[in-house]
Structure formats: structure tokens, C-alpha cells
Structure 1
Amino acid sequence: MAGDRDEGGRDLTRKAAARTARLAALPVTYAGRRAVGFGKRLGGRPAEAVMTEVQQRTAEQIFRTLGQLKGGAMKMGQMLSVLEAALPEEAAAPYRDELTKLQDAAPPMATRTVKDILARELGADWQERLTWLDGGPSAAASIGQVHKGRWHDGREVAVKVQYPDAATNLRADLKALARLAKSVGPLFPGMELGPLVAELQERSSDELDYPLEAEAQRVFAEEFRDDPEIVVPDVVEVSETVLITEWMDSAHSLARTIAEGTTEERDHYGELFSRFLFSGPSRTGMLHADPHPGNYRVIPAEDGGPGRLGVLDYGAVARLPDRELPSAMGRLIRIGGEQDDEALLRGLREENFVRDKVDVDPAQVLEYLSPFIVPTMEERFRFSRAWMREVFQRINDPRNPAFNVALKLNLPPSYLLIHRTWLGGIGVLCQLEAEAPFRAILEEWLPGFADEPA
């Protein structure tokens, strides 16, 4: 027995080493391609054409690798896909197709493996409760895949099964990505990869905890049960690595709407997406903190009218101490929308976002926070890639005085996941190019935003 355990441990070590080696090869390969590209330019090919070719081939390798490795590697790719709209167009264009693939799919595991896990987790009689299971996965993601099935009471269900070694692979990937963030960073101009990896590491245990995920999903399902616009499937059964929920019929995910949707569809589902993101905290005490489009499903109306939005995956939620988003956020964003930079800076100091002895220009602070403020200044705001690129290029330009504001701001730990989710939500709305009554949504659901100035 001891020999078996030792052999198993050595096998896991070998697999982890192989995964790390594949991640480590990414920046090395990129450097090699740049060197080859330099040689081609010396040979007379236009520099712009060569660089596009280098970026395209590198993008294909990066996101193919991240997707095949699943775990933390794929989770990182999904987070980057949400923020793709912020990339300069010359950088985003070669990456966009590969990034989008990570929003809705991943390589599947064998059916035999799935059945072995179900027998281990649900018991030898699992087929008496789960009377039918589709042989192939309906969806696959970073730490698990989903099969369609039928429960013994006749309900169609979604059976999410965690990948073997998901915990080991997730933590190993994140450790490797933390080391590689600086060297891979140049591939994503204007994005800070280090904080993204650190945040994934911080909540990795929650992502792996299916009972904790089921607890959150039950709360959302109960609160949104009769909602005319939002659908949340209820939980049927849960174990350590299996989560069974009611099946949700849908046409496709928001990733398809981003790629092919009409203006009307983009606006409609962008508004529903915004309403869910901001109403959820006040209604459930939790923030759904994984806003990538694969988690949001389009449910067409039977009468041909406006459809509903289904929301999946509750493994990443922020459990809010006051059971709603902090009122300070709403108050400060409202002040920013009034363009009162002095009052904004005073409010940031009061909430310890700027420490007392830190000297910072109020106008530069207002400019730096513009991605969160500008959409609230109109009755309806049209989000777009062009707007997001312009904003992020400006605040990430070292020549712009606002560039140094990030170094002087202090983001309390309780705001980290909220900040990342809000930024990711803006990224999705910009990918959709959606117009939404963003100000009215915040007035209804963001504490502090609609309060009259003191």
C-alpha cells in the first residue's frame, strides 16, 4: 500500500512538473518568436505585418495551453478574456478569437472517469437517483465539467463533476503563474497580471468547495425564483466534488451574443446583466463575482418577446459583511459624477482609500476613477470597446499624470473582489457594446448612490 501511495505521489509530482514546464515555456517561446520576427524584418518584411503574425501565433499557443491545462491556467485565461476590451486594438485583434474560446469551452474528461467519480461521491446506487446521464459533456470549465441528466423524480438536471486532481492543479498553476506574471505581462499591455493571480490564489479554496457553492446558489435561486428577467437553477444534490442542479434550457451564452448579437439583443442582455450584478447583493447579501460571459445564458421567450438571462456558477461569490455593497462606494461614485474632485478626494481619505499623509492631485484621482464614474453621468450610457480602450490607454500611459495615482491609492482587502468584479462587469458590457440605463440601475440598487448630497 505504501508503495502504491508513493507511486501515486510521484505521478502527481511528474504531472505538476509537466504543467509548470508548459506554462514556463510561454514567455520563452514569445521571446523566440520576437527574435525570428526581427530577422524577418531585416529580410525586408514590413514590421507591422511581422508583429501581427508573432502576436497571432503567440495568442494561439497561450490560450490553447491555458485551456488544455484547465485549473488555474484556464481560470486566468477566462479573467483575461473579460478584460480583453481594454487592450489596445493592435494587441486585442490577434488575441480576441482565442480569448473568446475560453469563455465557453474546455477539453472534456472521459465518461468512465465521470461515472467513477459519481459512484464514489453519490454511492453505489447513484444510478437509481440519477436515472440517465448524457455520455458527453454539455459544458466544461476550469475545474469541472457539466453533463445533462435526469433525476429520479423526472426533473432534467445539470451534473457538474470536478476534475480529478483539480485542487492540486489549481494551486500548482497559480503558483507557477505568480512567478511568470512579469514575463508574460508584456503580452497584455496595460494589464496588471500579478494582482489578478494573487486574487485567484486568495479564493482558490472557495472555488473548489462545492458544498459552499451550493449554499450560495440556493440563496440566489430562492431570491430570484419568481423574477421575470433572471433565472437561477436550484440545487438538487451536492457532495465534495459533485454538484447537481436543475437543468436550464438556453439558446447560448453571452459569448455568442458578443460575437453575433443584434444591437437590440446586446442592449437587452447588457441591461439584464447589469441589473443582476447590482441587485444581487441587496437581495442575497452576496455578489456574484465571476462575470465572464460563459456563466450567463440567453433564454429566449416563447412568445418571441424579450428573453430572460440565466446565471450559472456560484463558486466565486463575495459574502458581504453588511449584506449589501458598501454605501461608501455609491456615495463616492455619485460625488465623482458631480465632478467635485476635491469632495471626492476628501471622501476617499475618510474611507482610507487614500492615506492621510499621501499627497495626490484631486483632478488626477477623478480621471483615474473615470471607468467607474463616467457611465453614471448619463441617463443611458453606451459601453464600447473604443471607450474602454481610450480610458485605459489614458490612465495606463506613464506620460499621463494620472498614471501614478494607482500607486497612491489604498484598496482595502474587503473591496478587492468587488473592484475586480465591477471592472470585469464593465469589460463584458464593453464587449457587448451595450447601451443601458446604468445610472437608474445604480440609483435603485447601489447603497449611497441616490442619497442627496449633505
Structure 2
Amino acid sequence: MSAEKDRESNRLTGRIGRYARVGTNVGGIAAKMAGARLFGLELDNEKHAIELASALGGLKGPLMKVAQLLSTIPDVLPPEYTAELAKLQADAPPMGWAFVKRRMRAELGADWQSRFAEFDKAPSAAASLGQVHRATSHEGADLACKLQYPDMASAVEADLRQLQVLFSIHRRMQPAIDTREIAMEIGERVREELDYRREAANMAAYRTIFEQNDRIRVPDVKSDLSTGRLLTMGWLEGEPLLSFREHSLEERNRIAETMFHAWWHPFSHFGLIHGDPHLGNYTVFSDESQPAGINLLDYGCIRIFPANFVAGVVDLYLGLLEDDEARIVSAYERWGFKGLTKDLIEVLNVWARFIYGPLLSDRVRSIADGISPAEYGRKEAFRVHKALKELGPVTVPREFVFMDRAAIGLGGVFLHLRAELNFYQLFNEQIEHFSVEKVGQRQKELLRGAGLK
């Protein structure tokens, strides 16, 4: 690591400044929560949730990404807070050209511009951790250059530290879920997103998985133009997924079926999921020579699961399908649930039957009837939260954070497309001849080949 990069990643003043800004906003809310708890006062959660969302919305950066994630997990924060956080959009203002030049110089050296035939000054997309610039190689290839914002390592650590304040206060307010495992999972995954070399390796793994599938495209990485905080890859042309909402049912179904395969095949065969279901991470390509396909664009949030966890997902499905209580209990134990009781199992099954519901009936259907994408899963999450509250705090295994988040996000995509598919048939095609030993061996070979282990 160069001295300049080392100074940026550990800049004390950047971290102190971030703590001050985040601490003032989040700390004020936390203090009110703590005071209400201490003196037995009623806290106006709705009012303070709006204040918190406003504070976080003004900060942008990694805290925005974490806040959006929190909004998808029941009872990590009070429901009024999650409702407000769900409205936040990761629309961080882009870096100006002067900043971009400094960042590119830090990553590729003073002559960085000579390494491209063209490099757009204005970003084509800006998000919470970085922005993308379109460029052209000297060979004429279209490129996407994903450049991380300055001082993100310090910003992430500051934001995660302050979120611990909210977590710790909420744990004292008789929550249904103990958030400690969840907090550790969020921290690990967000830190991983800062490492663009890891993202390049994730991309290599997905290219291997789908190398024989002409309906799913994965960008190729330009290693000589990439670093730990600059990822240069081939540009994939495509249209926003939502632009196909008014196309024919046949075309919408084909896109949804491809999305189903792009998500469930890596999980059921290799133990990997694409953990960020944001609609902006997919585009659709189509031409007269072949049916519409999917571009998978972002690989910062790829979750790798132990083969035994994947086996638990399959066992729970088969247990629900065959009404096999012993298999259901065994699945929860594989996932890492402790202290299982009959009441707790019944509550967990409420959520399981919701997630697995479309996969259990052998017929063509929508993923859910009469539900908007924004409301998908919320009613069931509320029921589970209410029931768990009676049982005391339950420690949810950390793997659930991104598994549930991705499953809900995928369901939202199907609702946006108004797809009608036989989800039972599609899922059973993926788990046919399932073997935990085969998943473990495939995963080991895949990760080794991609440079992930």
C-alpha cells in the first residue's frame, strides 16, 4: 500500500469528523430513547424516526447503505424507525472532476489518463460508497470504472460504531430479536464492500458459474486497470429492469425466470448469493437474435454460506412440503438456532411458510397476490415480531440477514414484473439430486479458482 493510500485509509481527522457528524445526529436520538427507558416515559417513536431519517439522509455515504439494510430486518430497530429508513435512497452526490482526478492518480499513477482512450468526466452512476465513470480502452472496448469515494474506510468504521449505540439502546427495550449477531454480520459485509479486489474475485466466481449460460452476463475485470479501490470492467449495455413492466407477459416471465435462476442456482449449487437486491444492480439486454437476458452488475455484497446451511434451506423446504416436523427442526438446528421450543418453532414456521409459500404449490402463480413490492413481507414480519416478543429475545443466526434480505428483494422484482411462473417447478429443478457434499466440493473448487480462498 502506498503512503498516500495508507494516509487516506487511516486519516484520523476524517474519522473524528465523521464521528462528530454522525454522533451528533444519532446520539441525540439514542439519548432520547435511553431517557425514556430510564424514566419510564412514552417515547414518540414516529416523530423521532422522522428526525433520524432526516439526519441520516443528510449524511449519505456508508451509513445510508447500512440504514437501508436495517429497514429490511424485523425488530432490529422499532418499526416506526424501519418504516422511515425504508424511504431513504442512496443518492450520494458524486465527486467533482477535481476529486476524481486526484483519486484516479492515487490508484493508477500520475499518467492514469494516458491509459484510457477516453474517460468521461461526469459519472454515469453515483451510490453510497463510490461512483462509476464510463471509459474506452485503446483497443476500443467500452469500460465501466467504479471509483471509491475518499476516506471510506474511516467513514465505515465511524458509521458502524454509531449504529452500535442504537443497537445497544434498543436491546434494553425488550426487543423480539437480539441484534448482536446481526450487527457483526452487517459490519463484516459492509467492510468487504470496500475491497474491490474481493469484488473482482466475486465477479470471477460468477463468471465461472454462468459461463455456459447466454441469458446471464457477468462483466469481465480489467486487472491492469484495477486496484483495491478502483474496479475497471467491461461495460454491459442494457435497459433498466423496470422499463419492461409493460412488455408482454411472456417477456416479463422470461426475465423473472432468468432472475430466479441467477439467484437460486449459485446458492443451491455453490452456496453463494447475490446479497443486494437493489433494482439498479440488474439491467436487461435483448436483441432480435435471442430472448431477453439479465446483466448482473454489482458484486460487492456476495455472501458465501457453509454447505451445511444450504442443506438446512433444502431440508426446511422438504419438511414444509411433506409436513415432516423432525426435518423442520433439524433444518433450524443446522442454521444455528439455539434453545428451540415448540412455540419458537411455530413462530419461525410463520416466516418460513411465507418465504417458501410460492415454492410449495405446483402451479403457475404470482409470487404474492394483491401486494405492492414495498409491502412484500411486511405483514408477515409484523406477525413474527409480535409473537417473538412474547417469547423473549431470540438470537437469529447471522446468515439470515442477507438470506432473508435477498429473498425479499427477489420477490419484489417478481412483483414489479407482475410475473406468473411455476415457482415449485423452478425450485425443484435447482435442488434435484442435491448433496451437501457436492455443494461443499463445488464451493471449494470455485473459491480457489476465483482467488477467494
User: Do they fold alike, i.e. is TM over 0.5?
Assistant: yes
User: Matched residues in 2 for 1:150 and 1:218: separation?
Assistant: 22
- What is the letter of the counterpart of residue 169 of structure 1? A
Residues 177-234 of structure 1: CA distance to partner in whole angstroms, max 9, x if unpaired? 121246689xxx9998765543221233321111111112122124324523211111
Tell me which residue corresponds to 2:228.
240
Tell me which residue corresponds to 1:344.
328
Bigger shift: residues 156-165 or 10-19 = 10-19
Equivalent position to 1:312, from 275, 297, 305: 297
Q: Structure 1 residues 274 and 63, CA, compared in 2 at 3 Å: closer, same or farther?
A: farther
Tell me which residue corresponds to 1:209.
195
- What is the letter of the counterpart of residue 292 of structure 2? G
Q: CA deviation at 1:293?
A: 2.0
Equivalent position to 1:27, from 29, 46, 64: 29
Tell me which residue corresponds to 2:69.
79
Equivalent position to 2:263, from 277, 297, 316: 277
- What is the letter of the counterpart of residue 339 of structure 1? D
Q: Structure 1 residues 25 and 61, CA, compared in 2 at 3 Å: closer, same or farther?
A: farther
Equivalent position to 2:54, from 52, 61, 69: 61
- What is the letter of the counterpart of residue 12 of structure 1? G
Tell me which residue corresponds to 1:360.
342
Question: Taking structure 1 as the reference length, what is the TM-score of the superposition?
Answer: 0.74
User: Matched residues in 2 for 1:83 and 1:305: separation?
Assistant: 39
Matched, 1:218 2:204: yes
Q: Is the Cα–Cα contact under 8 Å of residues 328 and 448 in structure 1 kept in the other structure?
A: no
Tell me which residue corresponds to 1:395.
384
Bigger shift: residues 144-153 or 386-395 = 386-395
Q: CA deviation at 1:77?
A: 3.2
Equivalent position to 2:287, from 277, 287, 302: 302
Q: Is the Cα–Cα contact under 8 Å of residues 365 and 405 in structure 1 kept in the other structure?
A: no
Equivalent position to 1:139, from 111, 115, 125: 125
- What is the letter of the counterpart of residue 13 of structure 2? D
Residues 15-53 of structure 1: CA distance to partner in whole angstroms, max 9, x if unpaired? 22333235426737999xxxxxxxxxxxxxxxxxx999x
Q: Is the Cα–Cα contact under 8 Å of residues 131 and 147 in structure 2 kept in the other structure?
A: yes
Q: Structure 1 residues 217 and 26, CA, compared in 2 at 3 Å: closer, same or farther?
A: farther
User: Matched residues in 1 for 2:108 and 2:221: separation?
Assistant: 15
Please list every run of 5 or more consecutive structure 2 residues that lacks an aligned counterpart in the other structure: 34-43, 437-453
Q: Structure 1 residues 93 and 82, CA, compared in 2 at 3 Å: closer, same or farther?
A: closer
**Identity of counterpart residues, as a percentage?**
27
Q: Is the Cα–Cα contact under 8 Å of residues 190 and 393 in structure 1 kept in the other structure?
A: no
Bigger shift: residues 241-250 or 118-127 = 118-127
Residues 143-172 of structure 1: CA distance to partner in whole angstroms, max 9, x if unpaired? 211100011211010001111101110111
Residues 359-382 of structure 1: CA distance to partner in whole angstroms, max 9, x if unpaired? 324544422422222121123342
Give the paired residue count: 408
Matched, 1:290 2:276: yes
Q: Is the Cα–Cα contact under 8 Å of residues 285 and 320 in structure 1 kept in the other structure?
A: yes
Tell me which residue corresponds to 1:334.
318
User: Matched residues in 2 for 1:388 and 1:273: separation?
Assistant: 19
Question: Taking structure 2 as the reference length, what is the TM-score of the superposition?
Answer: 0.74
Q: Structure 1 residues 93 and 27, CA, compared in 2 at 3 Å: closer, same or farther?
A: closer
Q: Structure 1 residues 359 and 204, CA, compared in 2 at 3 Å: closer, same or farther?
A: same
- What is the letter of the counterpart of residue 11 of structure 1? T
Bigger shift: residues 229-238 or 263-272 = 263-272
